[in-house]
Structure 1
Amino acid sequence: MGVDVPMTATLERASASPVGIPPAISRMVGVGTAVAGTTVSQPALLDLLGIEDPKIRSIYLNSAIGTRRLTLPEPDASGVRRPEPQGALLAKHKRLAVEMGGQALQACLKNIGASLSDLRHLCCVTSTGFLTPGLSALMIKELGIDPHCSRSDIVGMGCNAGLNALNVVAGWSAAHPGELGVVLCTEACSAAYALDGTMRTAVVNSLFGDGAAALALISDAPGQSRPGPRILKFASFLITDAIDAMRYDWDSDLGRFSFFLDPQIPYVVGANAETVVDRLLAGTGLRRRDIAQWLVHSGGKKVIDAVVVNLGLTRHDVRHTTRILRDYGNVSSGSFLFSYERLVEEGVTRPGDYGVLMTMGPGSTIETALVQW
């Protein structure tokens, strides 16, 4: 295939793996991220948008976010940044999604010594704009990827969708041993901003940032063993009682789509986190204390706090989650891959370590995956 991933020696953990651990579905072999737009702090953004309401300012300033990357409308002659019409926002999404996505994909492939010609399946994830043909087709044309490359698009599932895509591509990878598949999450969140000064808008605009992340997957062929965590199992939970708590729908007053986040979301997610994690670990012989690495979606300060409390995690367990929130805000579906990249750079994982990936989003939904290094 042309992918040449260096082999590394593996060391066995002192204790044997629990007998219930399922065989690996695929393996995560590389990651890359990219951002676009201008780096802006929360106080600077408040000034740029001319927000003076103390209640709204407090939402921005108490978000645990330091900076984000955003592409905002240019000010008009009077210095005011006007809301962009829906058509302009869709065009912005298309431009930024392709730009960031291409950079993240190239970074991911460079990370594993692969090239675009090695790519056999591309799954693109986005929730910040609608495109037909889909983002995967645009990426293939823009980057000159082999037009025979198989592809899939996951659109509109929200912040949890990166793990839904991982499930899809892991299954494809298992059916195509030795071939390269990539999950590409590219979210131009500032292409979904409403600048209307309402509390509903403030909750959203104080949180999201632009970013893209790509994850390379390869299923080991017989006799092969590459570095990177093996994907073992997935578990999902749709909280149907909160199906309207996170949504992106048409606002007739604004004449455009806008996000809505219910203030109760952190508590809904926290109250149900144990249910899905217990299901993920069921039958494996593992307990939560056996999980060495937790990669949780950077959904917001209150969401992270609720997950920490309800799962009995430490601040160290979610160190990458909180730092990604601080540095980039919530970059939607790719957030957990930004955290995974930080974990890879940290270099603290040991052969045999177990990890849990967790994302949350509309539905309301919690997605999880169990991996092992």
Structure 2
Amino acid sequence: MSRIVAVSGVLPPHRYPQHEITEALAGLCLPPGADRALLDRLHTGAGVTHRHLALPLEQYARIDGFGRANDAFLTAALDLGEQAARAALAEAGLDGGAVDLVVSTSVTGIAAPSVEARLAGPLGLRPDVRRLPVFGLGCAAGAAGVARLADHLAGRPAHAALLLSTELCSLTLQRAGTSRADLVASALFGDGAGALVAVGADHPLYGSSRGPLVVAARSRLYPGTAHLLGWDIGDHGFRIVLGSELPELTRLHVAEEVESFLAVHDLKPADVSAWICHPGGPRVLDALAEGLGLPGTALAASRRSLARVGNLSSASVLHILRDVLAEGPPPPGSTGLMLALGPGFSSELVLLRW
């Protein structure tokens, strides 16, 4: 088994209360004279109090196409990504040259060379570092990235691996986006980056860290649901596809998948001490809690993260894991479950143990 030895979360400096973002988007996205009742209702009910944005709020009016949005993504992603990676490496007590594998993920911008390649020099990564840039897993990529690090470290137990997530959801804003899906996205998503360092069982840090072990992982695609979540990509950039059926699918099928995964390890939902769940939105969290019969406090860390910073796509689970660890690690022998949902429609589960 591999061990997580450090995790960081970084946010842009531009922080706004939800009501200021709502007002700005009403003027930016809705046609003159349009009824803004739906926008107000969705923003009020999103469970979000504040969000951090890649740009000052007034600058979003200048983003008039995919090219400018992606240019802004590259600038901010490199800045935040470097901060997050440096913080995680410093916490682990490693320099960039000690990293054998780096997995980088984002679904809110495109870069070739990829983000981790552009950061290789500033971070001091070795020229022979293994790189795996990931696009398309969406919000599930943070949990999937932890699982892929664990796969690598199982075969190379002396290695250290870095996961980097940079998500700038605000730069996918649709200027003419008035569909319900567009408005839901405008209410939920924020910007941020996260990084995580894990080591194999033969690495010197393995025995000296109190971080959780990665015990097992499971990926699942749900057939017939590909049309429910993802991007519609065109000249307008990334326009969200967000089916209204997702909370019900979560309640029925994802909850069943979680129970099945835990049962393989002789566990039940009640045995999980730390739930590190991607905050897809209040309805998704409610559906998951209902489907698994969880007490109201079980997903508190996810709800707090949603309120403070919004949905950070793949970076959310890294921020939530950081928060859980900052509150004091669970007692030895405790179990944690990292869970995230993404396009496909898909789920990623990672079982942790302290």
Residue 236 of structure 1 corresponds to 219
Residue 345 of structure 2 is aligned with which of 358, 364, 368?
364
After superposition, the C-alpha distances for 1:159-217 in whole angstroms (9 at most, x for unaligned) are 00112211211111122223210111110112211122503321111111111111110
Residue 127 of structure 1 is aligned with which of 76, 86, 107?
107
After superposition, the C-alpha distances for 1:275-296 in whole angstroms (9 at most, x for unaligned) are 2112312332222221111111
Cα distance in structure 2, aligned partners of 1:222 and 1:32: 20
Residue 171 of structure 1 is aligned with which of 145, 151, 161?
151
Aligned residue runs from structure 1 range 313-332, under 5 A:
313-332=294-313
Unaligned runs of 5+ in 2: none
After superposition, the C-alpha distances for 1:75-130 in whole angstroms (9 at most, x for unaligned) are 58xxx925521101111111111111111111111112222222221100110011
Cα distance in structure 1, aligned partners of 2:38 and 2:131: 45
Cα distance in structure 1, aligned partners of 2:325 and 2:42: 32
Q: Residue 142 and residue 258 in structure 1: after superposition, are their counterparts in 2 closer, same or farther (change >3 A)?
A: farther
What amino acid is aligned across from residue 139 of structure 1 in structure 2?
L
Helix, strand or coil for the counterpart of 1:241?
Answer: coil
Q: Residue 75 and residue 285 in structure 1: after superposition, are their counterparts in 2 closer, same or farther (change >3 A)?
A: closer
After superposition, the C-alpha distances for 1:55-78 in whole angstroms (9 at most, x for unaligned) are 1111011111000111347758xx
Note if contact 2:13-2:53 (Cα within 8 Å) is conserved in structure 1.
yes
Note if contact 2:81-2:194 (Cα within 8 Å) is conserved in structure 1.
yes
What amino acid is aligned across from residue 248 of structure 1 in structure 2?
W
Note if contact 1:273-1:311 (Cα within 8 Å) is conserved in structure 2.
no
Helix, strand or coil for the counterpart of 1:244?
Answer: helix
Percent of residue pairs bearing the same amino acid type? 27
Give the deviation of 1:325 after TM superposition.
0.2
Kindly indicate whether residue 16 of structure 2 is the aligned counterpart of residue 35 of structure 1.
no
Residue 290 of structure 2 corresponds to 309
Residue 92 of structure 1 is aligned with which of 63, 72, 75?
72
Helix, strand or coil for the counterpart of 1:232?
Answer: strand
Kindly indicate whether residue 260 of structure 2 is the aligned counterpart of residue 284 of structure 1.
no
Cα distance in structure 2, aligned partners of 1:337 and 1:128: 17
Note if contact 2:52-2:192 (Cα within 8 Å) is conserved in structure 1.
yes
What amino acid is aligned across from residue 333 of structure 2 in structure 1?
G
Give the deviation of 1:343 after TM superposition.
0.7
Residue 195 of structure 2 corresponds to 214
Q: Residue 230 and residue 73 in structure 1: after superposition, are their counterparts in 2 closer, same or farther (change >3 A)?
A: closer
TM (normalized to structure 2)? 0.92
Aligned residue runs from structure 1 range 134-149, under 5 A:
134-149=114-129
What amino acid is aligned across from residue 198 of structure 1 in structure 2?
T
Residue 266 of structure 1 corresponds to 247
After superposition, the C-alpha distances for 1:213-263 in whole angstroms (9 at most, x for unaligned) are 1111011218962321111111222112221111211356xx333112112
Helix, strand or coil for the counterpart of 2:9?
Answer: strand
Unaligned runs of 5+ in 1: 1-24
Note if contact 2:338-2:350 (Cα within 8 Å) is conserved in structure 1.
yes
What amino acid is aligned across from residue 44 of structure 2 in structure 1?
L
Residue 297 of structure 1 corresponds to 278
Cα distance in structure 2, aligned partners of 1:197 and 1:363: 23
Cα distance in structure 2, aligned partners of 1:222 and 1:101: 25
Cα distance in structure 2, aligned partners of 1:140 and 1:165: 18
Cα distance in structure 1, aligned partners of 2:4 and 2:120: 22
Note if contact 1:28-1:218 (Cα within 8 Å) is conserved in structure 2.
yes
Q: Residue 335 and residue 75 in structure 1: after superposition, are their counterparts in 2 closer, same or farther (change >3 A)?
A: closer
Note if contact 1:186-1:212 (Cα within 8 Å) is conserved in structure 2.
yes
Q: Residue 334 and residue 75 in structure 1: after superposition, are their counterparts in 2 closer, same or farther (change >3 A)?
A: closer
Kindly indicate whether residue 316 of structure 2 is the aligned counterpart of residue 335 of structure 1.
yes
Kindly indicate whether residue 110 of structure 2 is the aligned counterpart of residue 110 of structure 1.
no
Q: Residue 73 and residue 156 in structure 1: after superposition, are their counterparts in 2 closer, same or farther (change >3 A)?
A: farther
Aligned residue runs from structure 1 range 151-230, under 5 A:
151-199=131-179, 200-221=181-202, 225=207, 226-230=209-213
Structure holding more helix per residue: 2
Helix, strand or coil for the counterpart of 2:71?
Answer: helix
Note if contact 1:267-1:306 (Cα within 8 Å) is conserved in structure 2.
yes
Note if contact 1:27-1:217 (Cα within 8 Å) is conserved in structure 2.
yes
What amino acid is aligned across from residue 244 of structure 1 in structure 2?
H
What amino acid is aligned across from residue 162 of structure 2 in structure 1?
V
Kindly indicate whether residue 20 of structure 2 is the aligned counterpart of residue 44 of structure 1.
yes
Note if contact 1:233-1:369 (Cα within 8 Å) is conserved in structure 2.
yes
Q: Residue 117 and residue 309 in structure 1: after superposition, are their counterparts in 2 closer, same or farther (change >3 A)?
A: same
After superposition, the C-alpha distances for 1:269-320 in whole angstroms (9 at most, x for unaligned) are 2211222112312332222221111111011111111111111112221111
Note if contact 2:169-2:312 (Cα within 8 Å) is conserved in structure 1.
yes
Helix, strand or coil for the counterpart of 2:94?
Answer: coil
TM (normalized to structure 1)? 0.87
Helix, strand or coil for the counterpart of 2:157?
Answer: coil
Larger radius of gyration between Structure 1 and Structure 2: 1
> Which of 134-143 and 293-302 deviates more?
134-143
Note if contact 1:207-1:300 (Cα within 8 Å) is conserved in structure 2.
yes
Cα distance in structure 2, aligned partners of 1:122 and 1:193: 29
Cα distance in structure 2, aligned partners of 1:61 and 1:260: 21
